[in-house]
Structure 1
Amino acid sequence: MSFTFRCLDAAADAPLLHSWVTRPYASFWGMLNASVEDVVEEYSKIQSSGHHHALLGIDDGVPAFMMEEYLPASSPLSSVYAVQPGDIGMHLLVAPPQGMPRPGFTADVMESVLDRLFQKPGVERVVVEPDARNTKIHVLNARLGFEPAGEVTLPDKQALLSFCTRESFHAARAARSLTPTRQSTQEASL
């Protein structure tokens, strides 16, 4: 699967993002009751931070997911683990399916995002901190090479801190390519 990426425009893309983050499957995103204006405000802050930014993932011309990348040293994570050189943080939200869910789509999206992140100069490890209750994403993270480091308390949640090294990603990608059928996690909230 081949996806393209473009920088998220906080104002122009807010109605689309709002339609994603306010659905029940995205409850762990923490914006179920957000207004479009709340989405504009949140993503304007992210895009102007200098250490955190969001991209839309495009599938055949249609926005299919949103990824955020950030520097853990400039985030609340800096107070809960020893940030290492080469660490980059990642958040991922897949759009609701258009039509029939495609088996393996969310895993394909995450693989593409991880591939993009590991192509960045100096990146050695991807850090994620999903809500500790989000069991669907923990399963997907493990399938793509993330190893849990334990629960941490962040300002907005109890999170499962996990790391994916370049080596563990490549091993998981190789194993995944040998799997004839892929379990659909289209609506896993990331």
Structure 2
Amino acid sequence: MTAEAFAAVAAPPLPRLCAPWSVRAASPEADLELIHRWMIQPHVEKFWHQAWPPERWQSELDTQLAGTHSLPCVVAHDGVDLAYIEIYRVQRDLLGEYVPHEPHDLGVHIAIGDRDRTGRGLGRALLSALAEGLLAADPNCQRVVAEPDKENTPSIRAFQIAGFAAGPDVALPDKTAVLMTYERRRPR
């Protein structure tokens, strides 16, 4: 692929999710307090390392929403906000420097904000719906990836149950991750 082909790829799309799921682009005005509250929770901070003050989150959301690298979102289950996600183009992400990728490959970061909603199967169901929703939103995307911390075994397990295949470890500057890949299913 040429550099022009990579540059011509649009920003990450909003996934197409079906009930009981819904997703919206994060609003710095409406969602800042919620995202900040989730990011300071110990189970999120342990792997995200973004227990930033609200002002920094405001700037982060503004930057993401103004660019083509990533799209910050809030996902709800049955109308109740459940998770903060970032959808990104692998080619525009740090991960793209470490793994082979195609122009339309998408990646996801996910944080279930409230500890009492973890360990109940919601994350696994969300990951599967999210992967399929991203493939539906971008017909040119052939795979969705994630890079959970190697030490985050519950997350890795959830990705695997959701249909992601575990790949090689990837030594990133801030962690050693496991590359998780969800391939578009080919008709038989």
TM-score, with normalisation over the residues of structure 1? 0.79
Q: 1:136 aligns with which of 154, 158, 162?
A: 154
For 1:158 and 1:11, how far apart are their aligned partners in 2? Answer: 34
Is residue 145 from structure 1 mapped to residue 163 from structure 2 by the alignment?
yes
State the match for 2:120 in structure 1.
103
**Superposed structure 1 runs of 4+ greater than 4 Å apart:** none
Partner Cα distance (1:95, 1:80) in 2: 28
- Taking the aligned partners of 2:132 and 2:152, their CA distance within structure 1 comes to 23
Match of 2:39 in 1: 21
Counterpart in the other structure of 1:115: 132
Name structure 1 gaps, 5 residues minimum.
Answer: 171-190
Cα distance, 1:38 vs structure 2: 1.9
Q: Which residue of 2 aligns with 1:70?
A: 88
Kept in 2, the 8 Å contact 1:10–1:47? The answer is: no
Counterpart residue type for residue 106 of structure 1: G
3-state SS of 1:132 partner? coil
| 1:152/1:158 contact within 8 Å kept | yes
Instruction: Note closer, same or farther for the CA distance 1:23–1:101 as it changes in structure 2 (3 Å cut).
Output: closer
> How much is the aligned-residue C-alpha RMSD, in angstroms?
2.2
For normalisation by structure 2, the TM-score amounts to: 0.79
1:61 equivalent to 2:79? Answer: yes
Deviates more, 1:11-20 or 1:60-69: 60-69
SS in 2 for 1:145: coil
When residues 101 and 85 of structure 1 are mapped into structure 2, their CA distance, relative to the original with a 3 A threshold, is closer
Deviation at 1:101, TM superposition (A): 6.4
The alignment covers a number of residue pairs equal to: 167
Q: Is the 8 A contact 2:88 2:106 kept in 1?
A: yes
Match of 2:49 in 1: 30
| Deviation of 1:149 (Å) | 2.0
> Once the two structures are aligned, what percentage of the paired residues are identical?
26
1:71: how far off?
0.6
Contact 1:14–1:36 (CA under 8 A) maintained in structure 2: yes
Corresponding residue number in structure 1 for 2:20: 2
Where in structure 2 are there 5+ consecutive unaligned residues?
A: 1-18
User: In 2, are the aligned partners of 1:67 and 1:113 still within 8 Å (CA)?
Assistant: no
1:155-170 matches, within 5 Å, as 155-167=173-185
1:156 offset after TM fit, Å?
2.4
